[in-house]
């Protein structure tokens, strides 16, 4: 009999390994496609209306591969620029591969979010027009790389005495236009990745990307304008264009580093989701292991959560005999019983050795004052011991100082009213108490 009715997956959910739709299956079963164990997932805590932690792991894996591809494109672009100076063929091939990796990564990160997040209607991440614009911006880099490589090939051919000057001019214009388009495409991409960073709970990275986007949009446009004017004839604008170029380059570096950060965040999210998946089952199993077969019984009325069966008298940490539902999480571990019950007859009595030599008990003399080793002045004052065999004197009673009043300062009801022979004392003060009936000297005086 099953110990727990396994919950059914009610929402759309894909298998982590093969992507099979698991809706309608039970937690704890195996995927019918690949056999992977289906584990529970934590419920959404809705931090900032849902974060990437709550997303489907398959979608998070897609984001991770997208950011990894974009990061690889950045590294390959740097390598292609360095090698291109020495070998045009290797440099062009590396740059083309870099642009393809960049474009593929942009396509992956611009996939629609899962339905539960798509309903939040983020104006950037959930806008179909914004996602289409982002994908076009990614494709522009591939076009720019191909056109730029074609112009470089024509220039090399012209240097060797071949090629066409007209074709070279046309390709040059196309190269400049696609280069400007490739630069401008970084702005919407930066905005999109910034919102993605906010969704990943990386607020610092999101604000850096927002700042980089504004820098490339405003200062980058001014830089392009200054370069055009400097090419026309305003040569004094070359220095401001150079300064703006440095600032824009720094913003581009920040954008590239943020892409690496998003890849790292997606990887961390996948690792975290894998660690907490099945946490409910692990906790329940741990509680059951601590409570089952520990002895003790349920001493109060408690109904089964599944069928309402009264569990009173059943062992702690067991399962309902009616429906098989485990109640180990509701009954704490019982206190382990001792190895054997207590038997008074087995207690060993104290043995007294009557032939032993008695040892004198030396009382410690009480003392007042300071000790010599505690920097006190002089010896401690010793209090004379008291003779324990002497009778204990009573205040104002027999055996006290004869010069004192026998009554002393005792209260009236405690003072002696007779002497040692039983004769009433003359100085005894009648307190006027009403005599008892048996002690009344004149019974004839009583009236009805």
Q: pLDDT by residue (tens digit) across 346-378?
A: 655 656 667 777 777 666 555 555 454 544 445
**Across 52-56, 126-130, 410-414, least confident range:** 410-414
pLDDT exceeds 50 at position 47: no
Q: How many CB atoms lie within 10 A of CB 137?
A: 22
The 10 Å Cβ neighbour count of residue 303 is 13
φ, ψ dihedrals at 319, nearest 5°: -125, 155
CA 361, 365, 370, 371 torsion: positive or negative?
A: negative
Boundaries of every domain in the chain: 1-41, 53-276
Residue 414 pLDDT exceeds 70: no
For 425, other C-beta atoms within 10 Å of its C-beta total 13
Helix/strand number for the chain, H first, E second: 8, 2
Name the strand (E) or helix (H) holding 382: strand 381-382
- Per-residue tokens: 291: 């409570």
In the chain, the percentage of residues whose pLDDT exceeds 70 is: 65
* Residue 100 confidence (pLDDT): 93
In this prediction, what percent of the chain has a pLDDT beyond 90?
11
What CA–CA distance (Å, rounded) separates 130 from 188? 8
Q: Considering only CA atoms, which of 306, 293, 284, 295 is closest in space to residue 1?
A: 306
Q: Is the pLDDT of residue 106 over 90?
A: yes
CA-nearest of 134, 100, 73 to 263 is: 73
Summarised one tens digit per residue, pLDDT across range 239-293 is 888 888 899 889 888 998 999 989 998 888 888 877 777 666 666 666 666 555 5
pLDDT (mean) for 216-236: 83
Residue 390 has pLDDT above 80, yes or no: no
pLDDT score of 285 = 67
Q: Are 154 and 164 in contact (CB under 8 A)?
A: yes
- Per-residue DSSP letter, 444: G
Predicted TM-score (pTM) above 0.75: no
The closest of 277, 278, 273, 276 to 55, measured between CA atoms, is: 273
Tokens of 441: 């000297």
Mean pLDDT (the chain) is: 74
Task: Please give the pLDDT value at position 374.
Answer: 46
**Among 17-31, 91-105, 278-292, 399-413, whose mean pLDDT is lowest?**
399-413
Alpha helices in 85-122 (DSSP H): 88-109, 115-118
Q: Is the pLDDT of residue 66 over 90?
A: yes
For residue 206, the SS3 value is helix
Query: Which of 57-66, 84-93, 182-191, 327-336 is the least confident region?
Result: 327-336
Closest alpha carbon to 52 in 39, 67, 72, 70: 67
């Amino acid at each position: 009999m099953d110990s727990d009715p396994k919950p059914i997956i009610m929402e759309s959910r894909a298998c982590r390994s093969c992507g099979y739709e698991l809706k309608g299956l039970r937690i704890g079963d195996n995927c019918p496609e690949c056999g992977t164990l289906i584990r529970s997932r934590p419920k959404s805590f809705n931090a900032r209306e849902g974060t990437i932690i709550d997303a489907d792991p398959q979608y998070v894996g897609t984001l991770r591969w997208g950011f990894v591809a974009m990061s690889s494109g950045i590294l390959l672009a740097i390598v292609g620029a360095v090698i291109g100076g020495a070998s045009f063929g290797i440099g062009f091939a590396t740059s083309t591969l870099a642009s393809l990796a960049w474009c593929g990564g942009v396509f992956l990160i611009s996939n629609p979010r899962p339905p539960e997040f798509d309903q939040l209607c983020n104006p950037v991440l959930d806008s179909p027009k914004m996602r289409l614009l982002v994908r076009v911006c990614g494709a522009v880099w591939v076009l720019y790389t191909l056109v730029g490589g074609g112009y470089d090939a024509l220039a090399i051919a012209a240097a060797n005495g071949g090629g066409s000057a007209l074709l070279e001019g046309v390709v040059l214009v196309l190269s400049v236009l696609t280069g400007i388009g490739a630069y401008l495409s970084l702005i919407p991409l930066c905005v999109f990745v910034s919102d993605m960073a906010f969704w990943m709970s990386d607020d610092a990275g999101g604000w850096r990307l927002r700042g980089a986007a504004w820098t490339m949009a405003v200062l980058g446009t001014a830089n392009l304008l200054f370069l055009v004017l400097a090419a026309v004839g305003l040569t004094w604008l070359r220095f401001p264009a150079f300064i703006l170029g440095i600032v824009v380059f720094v913003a581009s570096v920040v954008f590239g580093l943020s892409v690496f950060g998003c890849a790292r965040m997606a990887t961390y999210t996948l690792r975290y989701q894998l660690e907490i998946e099945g946490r409910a089952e692990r906790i329940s199993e741990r509680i059951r292991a601590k409570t089952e077969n520990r002895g003790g019984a349920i001493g109060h009325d408690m109904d089964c959560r599944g069928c309402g069966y009264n569990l009173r008298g059943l062992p702690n940490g067991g399962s309902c005999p009616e429906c098989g539902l485990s109640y180990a999480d509701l009954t704490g571990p019982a206190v382990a019983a001792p190895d054997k019950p207590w038997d008074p007859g087995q207690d060993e009595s104290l043995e007294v050795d009557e032939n032993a030599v008695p040892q004198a008990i030396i009382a410690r003399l009480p003392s007042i004052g300071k000790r010599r080793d505690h920097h006190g002045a002089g010896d401690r004052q010793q209090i004379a011991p008291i003779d324990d065999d002497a009778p204990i004197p009573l205040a104002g009673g027999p055996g006290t100082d004869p010069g004192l009043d026998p009554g002393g300062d005792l209260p009236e009801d405690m003072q002696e009213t007779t002497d040692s022979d039983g004769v009433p004392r003359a100085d005894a003060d009648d307190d006027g108490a009403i005599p008892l009936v048996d002690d009344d000297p004149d019974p004839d005086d009583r009236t009805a």
